[in-house]
Amino acid sequence: MSKTRTALTPGLIVIVGFLTICPVFMLILGSFSEGLGAFGSFTLSKYVKGYIDPALADILANTVIFTVGSAAVATVLALFLAYLNTRTNIPFKFLFRTISLIPMMVPHILFAVSWVLLLNPSNGMINLVLRQLFGLEGAAVSIYTLQGMILVEGLLDLPIAYLVIAPAMSAFDVSLEESSKVCGASNLRTLFRVTLPVLRPAILAAMTLVIVRSLASFAVPSVIGMPGRIYVLATHIYRIVATGYATDYGLAAAVSMSALGASITLILLYRRLTRQGEKYVTVSSRGYRPAVIELKGAKYPLFGIVALLSFILIVLPVLVLFYTSVVPYSMVPSGKALAMMSWKHWISVFKDPVSLLSLKNSLYLGVGGATLGIILSFFVAYVIVKVRTAASGFLESLSFLSFSFPGIVVGIGFMWFFVQTPLYATIWALLIGYIATYLPYGIRPLTSAFVQIHKNLEESSRVCGGGPLYTMRRIVIPLLIPGIVSGWILMATMFVRELSLSVVLSRPGTEVLAVQILRFAEDGLWGRLSALGILMIFISTTLVIIASQIGVRLTKVDK
């Protein structure tokens, strides 16, 4: 047993090291190379060209405003929701859990598209309504602005900020607040003088994490930013490799280096903040009871805001997409629209070979990729939690490295690698890229599942006469099922919707759903886009339901 263990750790370090280091390594080499065909011929020209570009200053300014703005929107909303949920007697608390789960329900690109359908200047539904009501000429509101991007990205990243802030808020030692009140401070004063300052590390951590995610975000900048000619780093890099006549992967790699550097710096900052947070927030396990603040008259108005947010985040995008998929062109819901409804767009999607291929590819990548990914995550999590040597600590850092890499940057890095191999333009290239980028999503739930299996549970099985393999089969794996299932669900839904990596790696023949949706958006084929989008949501939801049912069946205790 000890022999297989010693071989396991280095083996995993090689695999995970390849997956995370290879794209970075190739990106660096690529940024100093002449071009994809002339790999290794050293040049500095790409850096010179990339960084003296006069447009770059504007792009960087946009990027900063976009990321910091989204972080502010997401964090303020998250604080508001977390406070209401953990500290007040607001009704229907289950809604908060739902809000924190939405990233699994509505893919980012579809969320962005639904806002375009509502608020684009030429035929956005809300604009059409406003035009009719007030007899306006032109657009009242345009989503194709930096503010529009910030709003949509902020809403999308709200769950991430919530997941960081809510635990800190509920682990908060209530006696700190109580002593402030004993000193005569009001609820509001306590909130601003005690609660928020103590939560500062968590708030900063949430903001940092959202900045990292929005820096890596591609859906919003491409669907909302590009039509308005507002470019951020991600779309700037995309433009360099996607404009058909002058693709320059060397230049893209050189520009990507700054996105990568920024991400790594921010993640290091995030880790520092979360460590500080542990020191700061006092968690007392004994006698913990949250002090619930009576909202009284404000209860239902505040709940109204939460309900509206849930509606905007979950129901509205799906409604808009479905409506758009059955009307012939963008129109305000009316009797006329009802009369003209048809399955025309659905039929054309089902007749479109590229859409069908993308459906097949995404489903294959979702199921196959998540299964391979979770197997790898299982072994990595096992080594991280149970082996606990210096090498396993190294593996841990290595496996969470890719969390900070923007997808498009990883894509460019892998591009430099795959063109050297027969994997180029195959679905395997996407599969490897997906697993590399999303490995932390599989490892995280599995490590926490492993941690929860107390050492004694395995030892007890050994003493009872079960050998190592018997123990693995009857004790360890059954106890891991919930972690395996949630890791698999996370990975599968991420893979079905994957966009930012795929826009670089996907080639004719390996189209995937999100890329096909982006093409439809670029061509303004909103009806077909919506039909395909609903299919995408349907596939994700089905995978989630099937996987959780299997999980429930496997973990049931015989009665």
Pick the piece of the chain touching other proteins (CB under 8 A) from 24-32, 177-185, 287-295, 458-466: 458-466
CB of 455 to other proteins, least distance (A): 9
For other proteins, the closer of residues 72 and 453 by Cβ is: 453
- Residue pair 534/325 in contact (Cβ under 8 Å)? The answer is yes
Q: Is the dihedral of CA 381, 408, 100, 195 positive or negative?
A: positive
Distance CA(96)–CA(163), nearest Å, equals: 11
CB of 456 to other proteins, least distance (A): 4
Structure-token pair, residue 210: 């959202």
CB of 475 to other proteins, least distance (A): 6
Q: Per rule CB under 8 A, is residue 351 in the interface with other proteins?
A: no
Distance CA(516)–CA(352), nearest Å, equals: 11
- Give the rounded distance of the alpha carbon of 39 from its chain centre: 32
Pick the piece of the chain touching other proteins (CB under 8 A) from 157-165, 223-231, 471-479, 514-522: 471-479
Q: Per rule CB under 8 A, is residue 308 in the interface with other proteins?
A: no
Distance CA(15)–CA(377), nearest Å, equals: 11
Footprint on residues 517-556 left by other proteins (CB under 8 A)? 555
Angle at Cα 317 formed by Cα 60 and Cα 124, nearest 5°?
A: 75
- Residues 97, 189, 462, 473: which binds other proteins (CB under 8 A)? 462
Q: Per rule CB under 8 A, is residue 456 in the interface with other proteins?
A: yes
Q: Per rule CB under 8 A, is residue 475 in the interface with other proteins?
A: yes
Q: Per rule CB under 8 A, is residue 460 in the interface with other proteins?
A: yes
Q: Per rule CB under 8 A, is residue 320 in the interface with other proteins?
A: no
φ, ψ dihedrals at 282, nearest 5°: -90, 115
Distance CA(63)–CA(472), nearest Å, equals: 48
Angle at Cα 366 formed by Cα 15 and Cα 16, nearest 5°?
A: 10
Distance CA(493)–CA(512), nearest Å, equals: 13
For other proteins, the closer of residues 338 and 554 by Cβ is: 554
- Residues 478, 542, 549, 552: which binds other proteins (CB under 8 A)? 478
- Residues 470, 509, 546, 552: which binds other proteins (CB under 8 A)? 470
Q: Per rule CB under 8 A, is residue 474 in the interface with other proteins?
A: yes
- Residues 371, 454, 542, 546: which binds other proteins (CB under 8 A)? 454
CB of 453 to other proteins, least distance (A): 10
For other proteins, the closer of residues 148 and 483 by Cβ is: 483
Q: Per rule CB under 8 A, is residue 473 in the interface with other proteins?
A: no
User: How far, CA to CA in Å, does 198 sit from each of 158, 265, 278, 367?
Assistant: 21, 24, 11, 43
For other proteins, the closer of residues 393 and 467 by Cβ is: 467
CA atoms within 13 A on the CB side of 304: 5
CA atoms within 13 A on the CB side of 303: 14
Q: Per rule CB under 8 A, is residue 479 in the interface with other proteins?
A: yes
CA atoms within 13 A on the CB side of 119: 20
CB of 454 to other proteins, least distance (A): 6
Distance CA(115)–CA(99), nearest Å, equals: 18
Other Cβ atoms less than 10 A from the Cβ of 539: the count is: 20
Distance CA(465)–CA(166), nearest Å, equals: 44
For other proteins, the closer of residues 239 and 386 by Cβ is: 386
Pick the piece of the chain touching other proteins (CB under 8 A) from 6-14, 145-153, 163-171, 453-461: 453-461
CB of 553 to other proteins, least distance (A): 13
- Write out the residues near other proteins by the rule CB under 8 A: 454, 456-457, 459-467, 470, 474-475, 478-479, 555, 557-559
